[in-house]
Amino acid sequence: MFDSAFFDAGLDREGSDCIKWDTCRREHGKDVLPMWVADMDFKSPPAVTEALRRRAEHATYGYTEVTAKDNEALAGFWERRHGMRPDAEWMVMIPCVVTGMKIAITAFTQPGDGVILQSPVYGPFGEAIDVTGRKRMDAPLVRDDKGHYQMDLAAVEEACKKGAKLMLLCSPHNPVGRCWTKEELEALLAVLERYHVFLVSDEIHADFVYAPHTFTPILSLTHKNVLSLCAASKTFNLAGLQQSSFLCPDEGAREKLRKTLDANGVISGNIFALAATRAAYNEGDAWLDGLLTYLVGNVRELERVVAENLPRAVLSPMEATYLGWLDLRAYGFTTQEMMVRCEKAGVAFTGGTFFSETLGDGFLRINIGCPRRYIAEGVKRLKEALEA
């Protein structure tokens, strides 16, 4: 059922107030092809829609408890998909992963403390550090000329020596597409442990990893000074429902998270979000398997059309995520200039400077969580933009 025809069909999202299409077309033109914000143009699993329908048909929506069923759904999914069963006790629900980052920073550090990040990285990492009044300590990733990125552990250690208190890790990594290996994560943990630096691992892209790569949950390696941020939102396209979770094995750390959530007025447990997330985790495997097969085809298609149309571009190897990281510096434009040209050519990407003002300039991120036919069209428009 979840074959390429299902995903090829996509769906018309216009008029649903979605940011990807509606906001984009309002701001950048009615024919713009949106290949930017990280959600997908596919129908979510039918089991999710059915669960929402059933909940709505109950026709009353009073205060609702988070129950063992919710925890069990998450635990069972992680056990099946990632070989690690999170304990129900570790789970602290939050609306969004980015909210979780801000709460963790607030709970475990003081204003003015240093927080490590690895640029180029999803923009809200840095914003979470700024908005909480902490100090960004960048340990930029190191890129080779094929677009493959690695961690700079010497730079991480340097930041630790200078007093960093916490690190935000993106695992797998948006936008550079790395799926960190067990060995890389162990080496990182060894450095952080020496300096007692707390690790917040954003694992929202954990389910989008392509063979032969495999995702290593940070909690399969240690339970000390660490938490994972996880969600069904990216995996099953449920971001508008706003439901995520901390997985935090340490009871003392969990207590700090709960207090900080409370002090900041953050509550979770939206009736529809809970129903949808449970259905996705319990009944979404076949859909997700079909999606992953389809996305592998999309990755190959992106590689093909980039090689054919943009011979001077470098696409970072896509080990994970449905987000391609394109180095277009050989074409001689800043990201800002490319964005203006792309708008004229009728296509929207996320500018590389969203991920780093300096290391992302001359880059674009392309979202291929869409019917395959959009990819050739998007890259054709990009070529026109660069050649105009």
Ligand X SMILES: Cc1ncc(COP(=O)(O)O)c(C=O)c1O
Summarize as ranges the residues that interact with ligand X (CB under 6 A): 38, 96-98, 122, 170, 174, 202, 204-205, 231, 233, 239, 244
Q: Which is nearer to ligand X, 38 or 156 (CB)?
A: 38
d(Cα 235, Cα 216) in Å, to the nearest integer? 17
Report the residue number, 366 or 386, with the smaller CB distance to ligand X: 366
* Among candidate residues 229, 238, 330, 325, the one with its CA nearest the CA of residue 275: 238
As measured in angstroms, the least distance from the Cβ of 203 to ligand X is: 9
The CA–CA distances, whole Å, from 166 to 93, 105, 115, 198 equal 21, 7, 5, 5
* Least separation in angstroms between CB 209 and ligand X: 14
Of the two residues 238 and 310, which places its CB atom closer to ligand X in the complex?
238
Query: Shortest approach of ligand X to residue 356 CB, angstroms?
Result: 14
Q: Is 257 exposed, middle or buried (0-12, 13-18, 19+ CB in 10 A)?
A: buried
Interatomic CA distance for residues 69 and 278, integer angstroms:
8
Alpha-carbon span 25 to 27, nearest angstrom: 5
Least Å distance, CB 206 to ligand X, is 10
Residue 63 neighbours by CB under 8 Å, 6+ apart: none
Query: Which residue is listed with tokens 């597409």?
Result: 177
Q: Nearest 5°: phi and psi at 41?
A: -100, 50
Q: Whose Cβ is closer to ligand X: residue 287's or residue 355's?
A: 355
Smallest separation, CB 38 to ligand X (Å): 4
Strands 314-315 and 323-327: antiparallel
C-alpha 159/C-alpha 139 separation (Å) is 7
Closest to ligand X by CB, 246 or 331 = 246
What is the CA 46 to chain-centroid distance, rounded?
23
Shortest distance in whole angstroms from residue 201 CB to ligand X: 10
Closer CB to ligand X, 157 or 203, in the complex: 203
Nearer to ligand X, 81 or 173 (CB): 173
CA distance 205 to 98: 13
- Least CB distance to ligand X at residue 1 (A): 27
CA 49 to chain centroid, in Å, comes to: 23
Cα–Cα distance between 126 and 149 in angstroms, integer?
Answer: 19
- Smallest distance, Å, CB 6 to ligand X? 23
Amino acid at 355: F
Closer of 169 and 189 to ligand X (Cβ): 169
| Alpha carbons 260 and 282: distance in angstroms, whole number | 30
